[in-house]
C-alpha cells in the first residue's frame, strides 16, 4: 500500500490520502440499533438490509466503480495549505488574552473582567446581549462582570472570535453551496444553538462550546481560496458518480483533506483549547459517546440547519451522525424540538451583534 503523507501544523495532523484503503464492513441487524435512549427517531435511518458500514463514507465512496470511469483527483498541495494557515492575521490582542485566561480551568473571573474591559467594542456587545429580552432579569446588567456572569465565559469568547472569523465579502463560497451571508448566518445560528443547549444543562460542554460553534466551518474559508475550476469539475463529477454522498466526502476524495480538519488546524494555531480543536475536527466524523462538546457541536450544526432551512429534518449527509450524538447526550425528540425553538429566539438577538 502506498505511504500516507502527513502534514503537521502545531498539534493537529491531517493526512491527505493518496489511495483509498479498504475497511471490513460490520453487519448489524436493525434491532441492534440503540434507539431506546430517546433519540429523535426521525433521524434514525435503519436500512431494510440491516447492513451498516463501519468505514467512513469517504472510504466507501472511493472504492472502484465498475460502471464509471474513476475520477483522478487533483489534491491540494499540503505545504501551501499549511503556509496559508500560518499566514493568517493574528487574533485581536483581547481575544488572545481571553483564550489565555480561559485555558486555566481555575481562572479568576476578575482577570477575565479586566481583559474584556480593555476592549470597548466587546464590552458594548456583551452588555447589549446581557440586557436583551431573552437574557435579562429584573435588574439590567450595568457592568462587565454582571454581563459575564449572566452570559457565561463561552459567550465572551465566541463574540470575541466573531470579529476575526467573519468571512470577507469577496470570498467565493459557492463551491460549498453557500453565499457569504448564508455561511455567516449558519455560524451565528450554530452559536445560538450552542447557547440554548448549554442553558438546558444537557451536559458540561465547557467554556469552548460557543467558540467551537462559531469556528466549526472556518476551514471552508481557507479551502475556498485554493479551489480551481478543475477541482469544481471533479467535485461535481464525484457527486454525479456517487449520488447520495456528502460534500465533505467530495472534499476528502478530490482535495485530499476536508474543511473540518483545516478548521481544526487553524484553531490549534490560534492556541484554542484541545476540546475546541477536537470538536471542530470531528463535527462530520463518527460520534464519540464520551465527547460532550463534540456531540454538542454535531447537534448545534443540525439545529442551525433547521433554523435556516425550509426543509426541516436531518441533514442528508449526517442523519446517522446526529442520531448518535443525540443518543449520547440523551436528547429526546421533544427536547430537540424545543431546543430549535429556543435557539431561534437567541438567533434573533445575536444577528445584530454578529454583524448580520
Q: What is the pLDDT of residues 193-206, one digit of tens each?
A: 998 998 888 888 88
- With vertex at residue 81, the alpha carbon angle to CA 76 and CA 82, rounded to the nearest 5 degrees, is 140
**pLDDT bracket for residue 14 (50, 70, 90):** very low
Query: Could you tell me which of 196, 206, 203 has the C-alpha nearest to residue 347?
Result: 196
pLDDT of residue 68: 41
Cα separation of 163 and 95, whole Å? 9
pLDDT of residue 299: 94
Sort strands 7-9 and 12-14 into parallel, antiparallel or unpaired.
antiparallel
Helix (H, G, I), strand (E, B) or coil at 263: helix
Residue 288: pLDDT over 90: no
- The residue ranking higher by pLDDT, 245 or 311, is 245
Cα separation of 14 and 307, whole Å? 31
Query: Residue 299: CB partners within 8 Å, gap ≥ 6?
Result: 193, 197, 322, 325, 326, 329, 331, 336, 339
- Residues of the chain with pLDDT > 90: what percent? 27
**Structural domain includes residue 1:** no
- The residue ranking higher by pLDDT, 46 or 244, is 244
Query: Computed over its alpha carbons, how large is the radius of gyration of the chain?
Result: 21
Cα separation of 53 and 56, whole Å? 8
**pLDDT bracket for residue 143 (50, 70, 90):** confident
**Structural domain includes residue 266:** yes
Q: Out of 51-65, 104-118, 154-168, 183-197, which region has the weakest mean confidence (pLDDT)?
A: 51-65
**Structural domain includes residue 2:** no
Residue 116: count of CB within 10 angstroms of its CB: 24
Residue 124: count of CB within 10 angstroms of its CB: 11
**Structural domain includes residue 318:** yes
Averaged pLDDT for residues 206-216: 89
CATH number for position 55: 1.10.3210.10
**pLDDT bracket for residue 304 (50, 70, 90):** very high
Averaged pLDDT for residues 173-183: 89
pLDDT of residue 183: 94
pLDDT of residue 188: 92
Averaged pLDDT for residues 241-257: 87
**pLDDT bracket for residue 129 (50, 70, 90):** confident
Query: Could you tell me which of 225, 217, 110 has the C-alpha nearest to residue 161?
Result: 217
Residue 221: pLDDT over 90: yes
* Residue 196, C-alpha cell as written in the block: 440554548
The number of folded domains in the chain is: 1
**Burial profile 71-88: b = 16 or more Cβ within 10 angstroms, e = fewer:** bebebbebeebbebbeee
pLDDT of residue 303: 94
Residue 282: count of CB within 10 angstroms of its CB: 22
DSSP class of residue 32? G
Q: Which domain holds residue 82?
A: 7-353
Cα separation of 336 and 303, whole Å? 8
Write phi, then psi, for 277 (nearest 5 degrees): -55, -45
pLDDT of residue 292: 92
Question: For the chain, where are the alpha helices, taking DSSP H only?
Answer: 57-61, 78-86, 93-102, 109-117, 120-130, 144-151, 153-165, 180-199, 209-215, 219-224, 229-241, 247-250, 259-269, 274-281, 292-308, 319-329, 333-353
What's the mean pLDDT when you consider all of the chain?
76
Q: What is the pLDDT of residues 50-98, one digit of tens each?
A: 322 333 333 343 443 334 445 667 788 888 888 888 888 888 888 989 9
pLDDT of residue 72: 63
Amino acid at each position: 500500500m502506498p505511504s500516507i503523507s502527513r502534514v503537521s501544523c502545531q498539534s493537529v495532523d491531517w493526512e491527505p490520502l493518496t489511495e483509498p484503503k479498504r475497511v471490513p464492513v460490520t453487519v448489524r441487524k436493525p434491532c441492534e440499533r440503540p434507539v431506546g435512549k430517546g433519540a429523535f427517531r426521525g433521524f434514525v435511518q435503519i436500512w431494510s438490509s440491516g447492513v451498516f458500514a463501519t468505514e467512513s463514507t469517504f472510504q466507501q465512496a472511493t472504492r472502484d466503480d465498475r460502471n464509471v470511469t474513476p475520477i483522478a483527483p487533483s489534491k491540494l498541495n499540503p505545504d501551501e495549505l499549511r503556509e496559508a494557515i500560518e499566514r493568517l492575521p493574528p487574533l485581536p490582542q483581547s481575544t488572545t488574552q481571553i483564550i489565555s485566561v480561559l485555558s486555566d480551568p481555575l481562572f479568576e473571573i476578575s482577570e477575565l473582567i479586566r481583559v474584556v474591559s480593555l476592549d470597548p467594542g466587546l464590552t458594548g456587545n456583551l452588555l447589549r446581549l446581557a440586557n436583551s429580552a431573552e437574557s435579562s432579569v429584573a435588574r439590567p446588567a450595568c457592568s462587565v462582570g454582571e454581563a459575564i456572569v449572566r452570559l457565561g465565559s463561552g459567550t465572551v469568547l465566541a463574540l470575541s472570535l466573531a470579529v476575526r472569523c467573519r468571512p470577507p465579502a469577496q470570498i467565493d463560497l459557492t463551491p460549498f453551496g453557500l453565499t457569504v451571508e448564508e455561511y455567516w448566518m449558519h455560524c451565528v445560528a450554530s452559536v445560538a444553538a450552542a447557547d440554548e443547549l448549554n442553558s438546558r444543562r444537557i451536559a458540561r460542554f465547557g467554556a469552548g462550546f460557543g467558540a467551537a460553534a462559531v469556528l466549526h466551518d472556518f476551514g471552508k474559508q481557507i479551502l475556498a481560496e485554493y479551489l480551481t475550476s478543475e477541482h469544481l469539475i471533479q467535485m461535481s463529477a464525484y457527486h454525479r458518480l456517487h449520488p447520495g454522498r456528502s460534500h465533505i466526502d467530495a472534499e476528502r476524495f478530490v482535495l485530499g483533506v476536508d474543511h473540518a480538519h483545516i478548521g481544526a488546524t487553524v484553531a490549534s494555531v490560534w492556541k484554542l483549547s484541545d476540546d475546541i480543536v477536537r470538536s471542530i475536527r470531528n463535527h462530520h466524523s463518527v460520534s464519540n459517546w464520551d465527547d460532550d462538546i463534540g456531540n454538542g457541536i454535531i447537534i448545534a450544526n443540525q439545529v442551525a440547519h433547521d433554523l435556516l432551512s425550509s426543509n426541516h429534518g436531518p441533514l442528508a449527509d449526517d442523519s446517522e451522525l446526529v442520531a448518535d450524538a443525540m443518543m449520547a447526550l440523551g436528547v429526546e425528540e421533544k427536547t430537540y424540538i424545543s431546543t430549535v425553538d429556543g435557539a431561534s429566539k437567541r438567533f434573533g438577538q445575536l444577528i445584530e451583534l454578529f454583524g448580520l
